[in-house]
Structure 1
Amino acid sequence: MENGKKRMAVLVGCNYPNTKYELHGCINDVVSMQKDLVDRFGFDPKSIELLVDDGSGSKALPTGVNIKMALKKIIDGAKAGDVLFFHYSGHGTLLPSKHHLKQQEEAIVPCDFNLITDVDFRQLVNGLPKGASFTILSDSCHSGGLIDKEKEQIGPNSLTPTTKHAHNLDLNISQPKPKKIQVESITDHLASLTNMVGSEIGTHLTTLFGDGASLMFRLPELDLDEQFGPHRPDSGILLSGCQTNETSADMPPVGSNGKAHGAFSYAVQSVFKAQQDPISNKDVVMLAREVLEKEGVEGQHPCLYCSDENANAHFLMWDAAQSNK
């Protein structure tokens, strides 16, 4: 910690064990990131909160309320110069938009299906004190644009996708699984809990979770427009595993010592291993794209959303972390 500045993180891995939505590499992703945060980026282990859904290594399950409480805690405790980080590995989804500026809204899927939407992440970013930074790395489907109204730096409108390649995988192992749950499946699951057949997803969520449901479903559209009006430069930084219309892959283990992992999380950590010097947010995303292409991961193009200044800033203020050692 330099001059009293704090480095705080929330790491969430959802494998959805014993369900039809089960994934296998998400907890591995955030456990590996936890080590990188301590060894390379100068985080105190006590400043990292890990939420996983396998019953081990976590004080609480990664429910929608628990994730938002953990994020609000680090934001409320932040001051100028502090570095905040959220790594999510799990399912994502797209929702019909209540906001007239977009056709669909992005969301992550906590273990209890209490969705956290792009509107919620916008509210969290808006709560940052001036001079603090909040980096989100989301290894989930449809994660592009997960901070509502954040400026696109690398994405479908700013960069032509690289050539697609077929998966180069051993035919004797299972194939990659997209980290995606259709909104219709989520609605059906919630309806089985509320017994409210034919209701919209927001009705199910507010019935089940009350004030713990996403702000998107609790505020009228006009209030959302007023609260999250015209974009202004801020310190939110989103590194997404894919574009809004794409899926992110949960990869099976390869080789006898391999572990299941998220393709994007693996790519980012591969970049860290190859780059010993500080590296910008923009370069992390561009190099992660190269790793995915070399690994033969098809149709997944990581994106970057942040201010112009933060696009060229070092990932997690890497230079400051090194100076603390």
Structure 2
Amino acid sequence: MTQNAYSQGNHQAPPPPPQQAQAFGHGAPSGYSFQYSNCTGRRKALLIGINYFGQRGQLRGCINDVKNMSAYLNGHFGYKREDMVLLTDDQQNPMSQPTKANILRAMHWLVKDARPNDSLFFHYSGHGGQTKDLDGDEEDGYDEVIYPVDFRTAGHIVDDEMHRIMVGVLQPGVRLTAIFDSCHSGSALDLPYLYSTQGVLKEPNLAKEAGQGLLGIVSSYARGDLGGMASTAMGLFKKATTGDDVYKKNLRTKTSPADVVMWSGSKDSQTSSDASIAGQATGAMSWAFVTALKKNPQQSYVQLLNSIRDELEGRYDQKPQLSCSHPLNVNLLYVM
């Protein structure tokens, strides 16, 4: 457990998110900024739990995860039932089944008409996996995917598509909180900024960003590689005729001016546990997230990441990950 201010007995709440536009830094074009959400606007949630009844690899805890999470959002965070869509494979209504078509439709619903300071919540509990990366944006050569209940006929949903639907359209100041309680989910939304339990930015995923020039320069700089910097800058220069082209290209990276935060159950290389806790089948990550926040609702991002890991410590190998669509001040108060 890292020593943070909270564990040392400083029980003041962390500072709330600033309301003005924040500079990206990290080699982004000047004027390219993001905005935190204070989560005081409209709230909408999409919760998906798939047990895959009667299929090989059937799970037990995923529908319970959705029930627990929806009750928690309703009771503690003011998400109204009528502003939640729950897709689970125990429902009779065909529109509420977690099929590929229904999941994609619901993702579009979730982000539709979102305004600054709205708080959107996405939760997926089910099978996750990896597939060969076709567009060259994954370091390890694999895209992360989720498996709808009808994946054997309809196919899986790739992280690139989830990012395009749910992240790419959001305005500055809109919060999307995403929780993936699935295997290989570390980068399931393709967010480029990944944080360690010390609150340190791990090397941004340059395969996602450097092709567009956004982080190539800063990475060479961080490594003290001045030659690399010059060649990155020259490469940019050769690729683009005008600064405007570079800017447009940079805006197509996986960064976002919105406030997108993702908690995932495991690293891309790990599986996530279908657990049994207090006699109930549950996803370990979903359980740990709710448990940690119930114990102390006033935590910073880095405190919450450590609290979630502490809940899982000694029970499961999986290492939950925190990633973001923009550089994150991990000492701010976690709100949603």
Aligned to 1:141: 183
Aligned to 1:269: 290
**How far apart, in 2, do the equivalents of 1:71 and 1:87 lie?**
11
Of 155, 160, 168 in structure 2, the residue corresponding to residue 119 of structure 1 is: 160
Pairs within 5 Å for 1:53-68? 53-55=89-91, 59-68=95-104
1:151 aligns with 2:169: no
Kept after mapping to 2: 8 A contact 1:141/1:241: yes
**How far apart, in 2, do the equivalents of 1:80 and 1:119 lie?**
24
**How far apart, in 1, do the equivalents of 2:91 and 2:288 lie?**
27
Kept after mapping to 2: 8 A contact 1:155/1:243: no
**How far apart, in 2, do the equivalents of 1:73 and 1:47 lie?**
10
Kept after mapping to 2: 8 A contact 1:50/1:57: no
1:37 aligns with 2:110: no
AA at the equivalent of 1:90: G
Deviation for aligned residue 1:56: 5.2
Q: CA 1:246–1:238 in 2, change beyond 3 Å: closer, same or farther?
A: same
Aligned to 2:304: 284
Kept after mapping to 2: 8 A contact 1:268/1:288: yes
**How far apart, in 1, do the equivalents of 2:88 and 2:302 lie?**
29
Q: CA 1:314–1:44 in 2, change beyond 3 Å: closer, same or farther?
A: farther
**How far apart, in 1, do the equivalents of 2:199 and 2:301 lie?**
18
AA at the equivalent of 2:298: P
Kept after mapping to 1: 8 A contact 2:190/2:254: no
Aligned to 2:47: 11
TM (norm. structure 2) is: 0.67
3-state DSSP of counterpart to 2:280: coil
Deviation for aligned residue 1:285: 2.1
1:25 aligns with 2:45: no
Aligned to 2:253: 229
Deviation for aligned residue 1:265: 0.9
Aligned to 1:303: 321
Aligned to 2:146: 108
Kept after mapping to 2: 8 A contact 1:16/1:23: yes
**How far apart, in 2, do the equivalents of 1:253 and 1:267 lie?**
10
1:252 aligns with 2:273: no
**How far apart, in 1, do the equivalents of 2:134 and 2:39 lie?**
44
Deviation for aligned residue 1:67: 1.2
Kept after mapping to 2: 8 A contact 1:122/1:228: no
Kept after mapping to 1: 8 A contact 2:127/2:183: yes
Deviation for aligned residue 1:282: 3.1
Q: CA 1:117–1:282 in 2, change beyond 3 Å: closer, same or farther?
A: farther
Q: CA 1:230–1:269 in 2, change beyond 3 Å: closer, same or farther?
A: closer
| Paired residues, number | 246
Aligned to 2:87: 51
Deviation for aligned residue 1:227: 8.6
Q: CA 1:80–1:234 in 2, change beyond 3 Å: closer, same or farther?
A: closer
**How far apart, in 2, do the equivalents of 1:284 and 1:84 lie?**
19
Unaligned residue ranges in structure 2 (runs of 5+): 1-37, 203-248
Q: CA 1:314–1:158 in 2, change beyond 3 Å: closer, same or farther?
A: closer
1:202-231 alpha-carbon deviations (Å, 9 max, x no partner): xxxxxxxxxxxxxxxxxxxxxxx9994364
Larger radius of gyration: 2
Which moved further from structure 2: 147-156 or 238-247?
Answer: 147-156
1:5-32 alpha-carbon deviations (Å, 9 max, x no partner): 2010000000000111200000001100
Kept after mapping to 2: 8 A contact 1:52/1:58: no
1:21-56 alpha-carbon deviations (Å, 9 max, x no partner): 200000001100101101111111111111100135
Q: CA 1:3–1:75 in 2, change beyond 3 Å: closer, same or farther?
A: closer
Unaligned residue ranges in structure 1 (runs of 5+): 161-224, 318-325
Kept after mapping to 1: 8 A contact 2:183/2:266: yes
AA at the equivalent of 1:70: A
Pairs within 5 Å for 1:198-217? none
**How far apart, in 2, do the equivalents of 1:104 and 1:158 lie?**
25
**How far apart, in 1, do the equivalents of 2:295 and 2:56 lie?**
36
1:138-191 alpha-carbon deviations (Å, 9 max, x no partner): 00000001122431123899699xxxxxxxxxxxxxxxxxxxxxxxxxxxxxxx
Which moved further from structure 2: 301-310 or 149-158?
Answer: 149-158
Kept after mapping to 2: 8 A contact 1:78/1:132: yes
